[in-house]
Structure formats: structure tokens, C-alpha cells
């Protein structure tokens, strides 16, 4: 149980284009989803927290107009990187929290590697 | 400053040897504590967690961790390492200041296992 998927696993795009990454909780309803960014050989940095049906809360220094988050349902959240540039190349990881039995534990997706040319 | 510290960036052990990965945190109130493992191509997998109660926590894959309040530490241990344990290990905390909602990760420790 508590499986989280991400799609795509890898994407390459041209500078200036937008890329959408999906995060799905497959076997539970996620009250909260989180988006992280991980640079090579570094740790995960929280970008934003989203609750179903409400606006995402962004961490300090994260551009909300650059990284659009939509949490449309209890099983799906999307991250759109708008007008991507090479410096946006990174590994993006989502996680979901199950508000029922295990409210304080986050379950992570496998990540999406974004390369902007 | 509030932080999570994993002092060992890279550790190499022989298969069958014991393992201890260190984690220290700096927060006023005891946060929730977690250990995750990240293998290539896979998502972070929760090994174990501590919220309260017994300070010795048992996790999956034969791992355990001990919370020591006096040392602000939550070290991960395994008595006998297997080659499949080679991966990146992250200590994470969910501090009270974030309502226990936000995870703050340490820098990670990369474990290599020699046959």
C-alpha cells in the first residue's frame, strides 16, 4: 500500500517551453501532496505543499509563477514548469501524505528528471 | 540555526559488517524523525520513523534507529549489511515549527558495500 507514481520519469525539453509533471497516489487518498527538487548529489529541497482543492503554499525563494501546482483531486497533483530554462534542469520528486491511518508520514514517488536544453 | 546534519557523506563497509549512519538535528522541540533510503530509479522508501515512545525503533530490511534526546541524534544501524543495501540514505525531520507537516532532509549518506 501507499504507492505514489510520477509521470513522466524523464523529460527533455527546449528552453522556453512548459513541462507538466503528474503525481498520483495509486492506492490511497492523499490529503496533502508535496513537491521537492533534488540537485545532483544533493538533498531534497521542499518547493511547495498542496492540499486538494486549495492553492499551494510555496517555500521561500520558489517562484509560484514559474512552478505552477494544481491539486485537482485527492489522488492527483501536477507541477508545471513554465518557460523552462536550463537552470530548471533537476530531479523533481513528489510525495503524498495519507490523512487516514498514517497522517504524519510522506510516501514518495520515483521522481522525474527534467533536462532543459 | 535549525538544521539536520548527516556528517558522513560517503561510507564504505564490507558485506556482513555492521553499519551505523549518523544523524543530528538542531531544533528546539523534538521533531518527528525519519530515515529514508533512495536507490537509483526508485523513489525514497521509508525505513523507519520516530514520533514518541520507545526510543529504539525497528524498521524494514533489518534496520533500526535509536533516538537520543540528550544528543539530539537519531542514528540508523544495521547489524549485518547486505550488498543490496548500497544506496543513498537520508535522515529527515518534521519540526514542530512546521506543524510536523514539512520534511527537512539531511544532505544524505551514500553507502557502498564491498563484497
- Going by the DSSP 8-state scheme, the letter that residue B84 receives in this structure is G
Cα distances (angstroms) measured from residue A98 to each of A26, A53, A95, A113? 11, 16, 10, 25
Q: Decide if A110 and B41 are in contact by the 8 Å CB cutoff.
A: yes
pLDDT single digits (tens) A4-57: 999 999 999 999 999 999 999 998 888 889 999 998 878 899 999 998 888 899
pLDDT digits (tens, 9 = 90+) for A52-80: 888 899 999 999 999 999 988 889 999 99
- CA–CA gap between residue B86 and residue B21 (Å, rounded): 13
C-alpha distances (whole Å) from B78 to each of B23, B59, B61, B85, B105 are 15, 10, 9, 10, 21
- CB under 8 Å to A112, separation ≥6 — which residues? A6, A7, A8, A9, A10, A11, A21, A91, A92, A93
Considering only alpha carbons, which residue of chain A is nearest residue B42? A110
pLDDT > 90? residue A101: no
CA dist A11 to A3, A14, B58, Å?
22, 10, 38
A110 touches chain B (CB under 8 A): yes
What is the distance between the alpha carbons of residues B39 and A111, in angstroms, rounded to a whole number? 11
Measure B54 CA to nearest chain A CA, in Å.
18
Task: Please report, in tens digits, the pLDDT of each residue of chain B (115 residues total).
Answer: 678 999 999 999 999 999 999 999 998 788 899 999 998 877 899 999 998 889 999 999 999 999 999 999 999 999 999 999 999 999 999 887 777 778 899 999 999 999 8
Half-sphere exposure of B26 (CA within 13 A, CB side): 7
Nearest CA in chain A to B103: A46
Beta carbons of B45 and A34 less than 8 Å apart? no
Amino acid at each position: 500500500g501507499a504507492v505514489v507514481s510520477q509521470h513522466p520519469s524523464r523529460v527533455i525539453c527546449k528552453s522556453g517551453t512548459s513541462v507538466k509533471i503528474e503525481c498520483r497516489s495509486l492506492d490511497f487518498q492523499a490529503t496533502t501532496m508535496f513537491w521537492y527538487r533534488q540537485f545532483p548529489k544533493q538533498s531534497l529541497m521542499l518547493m511547495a505543499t498542496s492540499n486538494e482543492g486549495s492553492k499551494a503554499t510555496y517555500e521561500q525563494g520558489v517562484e509560484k509563477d514559474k512552478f505552477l501546482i494544481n491539486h485537482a483531486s485527492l489522488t492527483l497533483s501536477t507541477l508545471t514548469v513554465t518557460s523552462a530554462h536550463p537552470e530548471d534542469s533537476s530531479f523533481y520528486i513528489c510525495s503524498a501524505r495519507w490523512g487516514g491511518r498514517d497522517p504524519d508520514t510522506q510516501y514518495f514517488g520515483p521522481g522525474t528528471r527534467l533536462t532543459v536544453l | 540555526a535549525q538544521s539536520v546534519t548527516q556528517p558522513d557523506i560517503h561510507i564504505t563497509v564490507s558485506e556482513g559488517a555492521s553499519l551505523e549512519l549518523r544523524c543530528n538535528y538542531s531544533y528546539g522541540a523534538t521533531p518527528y524523525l525519519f530515515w529514508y533510503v533512495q536507490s537509483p530509479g526508485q523513489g525514497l522508501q521509508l525505513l523507519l520513523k520516530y514520533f514518541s515512545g520507545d526510543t529504539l525503533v525497528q524498521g524494514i530490511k533489518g534496520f533500526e534507529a535509536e533516538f537520543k534526546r540528550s544528543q539530539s541524534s537519531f542514528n540508523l544501524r544495521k547489524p549485518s549489511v547486505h550488498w543490496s543495501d548500497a544506496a543513498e540514505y537520508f535522515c529527515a525531520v518534521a519540526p514542530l515549527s512546521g506543524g510536523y507537516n514539512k520534511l527537512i532532509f539531511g544532505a544524505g549518506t551514500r553507502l557502498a558495500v564491498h563484497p
